[in-house]
């Protein structure tokens, strides 16, 4: 059996899959893709994942993309502790969380980060280099969004919407954890993994929203997450971008 | 056993769940919610689904929301023909489609429809009535989007992005069906159900993108879908909005 995982630093969607694969105890070969060098858009990687996105899992030659889909696959295809509740109703509740991360939490967090980071990154590159890198982004929609972010072109309405979403996320996570150690069904599941992959950066990036006073349950849950050997192993994976603070 | 399904006319996310429940052969009580009368935001319905969205499934008192989550649940929780492939890898491929419908196809189609329909709808109502209805929308993000749509306030960039997405959808569906009767794994699955729920309106709404010349495989697949008794039963469900053309 061969399992190859292509991933960036232990953050966002890469962290999501790294947690699942470590928690499940699946032996795998790690292939680090440096996002700050745009390696996800390099021809060798695009040959594996035409969308030029991380992560990608290759299991015995079969290619899987989309972190949420990969995580369900890791739980279904390999031995190890279950990462989904057995009850279909609780599986549904778990999927409402993973879907909410994909549709609300992750994009809101990413676009706000792009808005902050990309203009400076574009300016720091030698002339013409940012444009050259843009051209290598396979998906037009993504390419357009990067270009727009570089110009600081997101509208105030969009930025406000994403900020409001992050408030909604904080409230939902906090109330879901009241009286519960984990988000769904009294067990650690792919819901905790998906939310944590994004939430881990919140206390540093949005200290007004995530802190001991405002979200005590969420902070305690994050400590429980970090104490898990699988999650800790995922967080300890290489980061050559400097984007992940080891102190988070 | 009691199964109650709250749904709108057989289109979009309501059609998605109606297809699954009919194909699976689950006996259920239908509760029709008239979206043109904003019944999805009425207090009695919001008590069941706080987001004020259709559809909602209530099975023996347990409430499920989100059509994609409901459809996986219908397949897992009830007897009847399987609507997912047995192989986890093919399940993953199926989920890439259902996710793509949720994140790209459905929103692009909906926002373009809002852009066309809502300004006229708002003007046709007695003074103050549209504003009164807006106030009943539970989710701020949704409320803001309706308000914006009513003013014709989507940006040209957003409109162009959604139109480009619909082209991408057409190309993907057409090439996935080349040499195949169904989208994934040689069997009818929740992927076909999810794509069809949106695609059914394409030949009428976007005849330049979906037609016998440009997308012959997709058109032939749509005919195969409509010939299935479960899908036909779903399409025959009540529509008091006049939004669904019976000739589609």
Together in a domain, B67 and B92: no
Bridge partners, A209 (sequence order): none
Q: What is the CATH number of the domain that holds A31?
A: 3.40.30.10
Together in a domain, A128 and A210: yes
Strands (E) in chain A, as ranges, are 3-7, 29-32, 56-59, 62-65
Which residues in chain B have their CB less than 8 angstroms from residue A141's CB?
161, 164-165, 168
Mean pLDDT score, B218-230: 98
- Is A248 a domain residue? no
Mean pLDDT of all residues in chain B? 94
Residue A241's pLDDT is 75
How far is Cα B89 from Cα B79, in angstroms, rounded to an integer? 23
Q: What is the CATH number of the domain that holds B182?
A: 1.20.1050.10
Range of the domain at A72: 3-77
Smallest CA–CA distance, residue A246 to chain B, in Å, is 32
Is A68's CB within 8 Å of B95's CB?
yes
Q: pLDDT tens digits for A217-241?
A: 999 999 999 999 999 999 999 888 7
What percent of chain B shows pLDDT beyond 90? 80
- Evaluate whether A243 touches A36 at the Cβ level (below 8 Å): yes
Is the dihedral angle over the CA atoms A150, A48, A244, A75 positive or is it negative? positive
Higher pLDDT among residues B196 and B151, named by residue: B196
**Cα R_g (chain A), whole angstroms:** 18
Is A89's CB within 8 Å of B77's CB?
yes
Six-digit token string for A59: 């299991």
The single-letter DSSP state of residue A41 is G
Q: Which of B64, B99, B148 sits opposite A92 (nearest CB)?
A: B64
What percent of chain B shows pLDDT beyond 70? 97
User: Element (H or E) spanning B158, and its range?
Assistant: helix B156-176
Q: Which of A11, A42, A77 is the last residue of a domain?
A: A77
Together in a domain, A58 and A112: no
Mean pLDDT score, B197-218: 97
Confidence of residue A245 (pLDDT cuts 50, 70, 90): low
Mean pLDDT score, A156-177: 95
Complex ipTM value: 0.93
A152-171 b/e (C-beta count within 10 Å ≥ 16 → b)? eebeeebeebbeebbebbbe
- Is B103 a domain residue? yes
Together in a domain, B21 and B119: no
Which residues in chain B have their CB less than 8 angstroms from residue A73's CB?
88-89, 91-92
How far is Cα A173 from Cα A180, in angstroms, rounded to an integer? 11
The single-letter DSSP state of residue A240 is S
**A17-26, A53-62, A160-169, B31-40 — which is least confidently predicted?**
B31-40
Q: Over 70: is that where the pLDDT of B148 sits?
A: yes
Quick one: which of B146, B141, B65 has its CA closest to A167?
Answer: B141
What global pTM score does this model have? Answer: 0.94
How far is Cα B174 from Cα B170, in angstroms, rounded to an integer? 6
Q: Over 90: is that where the pLDDT of B141 sits?
A: no
Together in a domain, B162 and B200: yes
Q: Over 60: is that where the pLDDT of A246 sits?
A: no
Task: Collapse the DSSP code of B246 into the 3-class scheme (helix H, G, I; strand E, B; otherwise coil) and give the result.
Answer: coil
Together in a domain, A65 and A103: no
Q: pLDDT tens digits for B97-116?
A: 999 999 999 999 999 999 99
Instruction: Name the domain count of chain B.
Output: 2
- Chain A residue with minimum CA distance to B65: A96
Residue B239's pLDDT is 87
How far is Cα A178 from Cα B38, in angstroms, rounded to an integer? 33
Six-digit token string for A164: 């409001």
Together in a domain, A199 and A128: yes
Mean pLDDT score, A192-217: 97
Residue B245's pLDDT is 53
- Evaluate whether A20 touches A205 at the Cβ level (below 8 Å): no
Confidence of residue A82 (pLDDT cuts 50, 70, 90): very high
Together in a domain, B120 and B152: yes
- Is A28 a domain residue? yes
Q: Which of B56, B77, B98 is the last residue of a domain?
A: B77
- Is B240 a domain residue? no
Together in a domain, A44 and A116: no
Which residues in chain A have their CB less than 8 angstroms from residue B92's CB?
64, 66, 69-70, 72-73
B10: left (phi over 0), alpha (psi -120 to 50) or beta: beta
Those residues of chain A whose CB sits closer than 8 Å to some CB in chain B are 59, 62, 64-66, 68-70, 72-73, 76-77, 88-89, 91-92, 95-96, 99, 102-103, 140-141, 144, 148, 155, 157, 161, 164-165, 168
Q: pLDDT tens digits for B65-81?
A: 999 999 999 999 999 99
How far is Cα B131 from Cα B92, in angstroms, rounded to an integer? 43
Mutate: best of A13, A72, A92, A104, partner B, most B CBs <10 A: A92
Read off φ and ψ for residue A203, nearest 5 degrees: -60, -30
Together in a domain, B92 and B54: no
- Is B241 a domain residue? no
Which residues in chain A have their CB less than 8 angstroms from residue B66's CB?
92, 95-96, 99
Together in a domain, A73 and A94: no
- Is B210 a domain residue? yes
Confidence of residue A248 (pLDDT cuts 50, 70, 90): very low
How far is Cα B243 from Cα B10, in angstroms, rounded to an integer? 9
Mean pLDDT of all residues in chain A? 94
Six-digit token string for A106: 């992750």
Which residues in chain B have their CB less than 8 angstroms from residue A89's CB?
59, 62, 64, 73, 77
Which residues in chain B have their CB less than 8 angstroms from residue A88's CB?
72-73, 76-77
- Is B236 a domain residue? no
- Is A202 a domain residue? yes
**A92-106, A117-131, A183-197, A221-235 — which is least confidently predicted?**
A117-131
Residue A219's pLDDT is 98
Together in a domain, B65 and B93: no
Q: Which of B77, B105, B125 is the last residue of a domain?
A: B77
């Amino acid at each position: 059996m061969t399992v190859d995982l292509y991933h960036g630093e232990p953050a966002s969607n890469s962290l999501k899959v790294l947690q699942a694969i470590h928690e499940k105890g699946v032996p795998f070969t790690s292939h680090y893709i440096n996002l700050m060098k745009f390696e996800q858009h390099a021809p060798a990687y695009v040959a594996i994942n035409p969308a030029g996105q991380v992560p990608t899992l290759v299991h015995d030659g079969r290619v899987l993309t989309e972190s949420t889909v990969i995580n369900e696959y890791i739980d279904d295809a390999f031995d190890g502790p279950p990462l989904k509740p057995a009850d279909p109703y609780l599986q549904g509740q778990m999927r409402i969380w993973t879907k909410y991360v994909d549709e609300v939490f992750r994009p809101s967090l990413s676009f706000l980060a792009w808005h902050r980071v990309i203009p400076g990154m574009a300016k720091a590159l030698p002339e013409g280099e940012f444009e050259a890198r843009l051209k290598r982004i396979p998906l037009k929609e993504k390419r357009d969004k990067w270009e727009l972010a570089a110009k600081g072109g997101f509208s105030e309405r969009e930025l406000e919407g994403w900020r409001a979403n992050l408030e909604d996320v904080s409230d939902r996570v906090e109330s879901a954890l009241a009286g519960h150690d984990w988000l769904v069904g009294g067990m650690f599941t792919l819901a905790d993994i998906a939310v944590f992959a994004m939430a881990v950066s919140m206390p540093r990036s949005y200290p007004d929203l995530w802190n001991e006073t405002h979200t005590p349950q969420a902070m305690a849950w994050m400590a429980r997450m970090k104490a898990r050997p699988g999650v800790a192993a995922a967080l300890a994976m290489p980061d050559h971008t400097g984007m992940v603070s080891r102190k988070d």
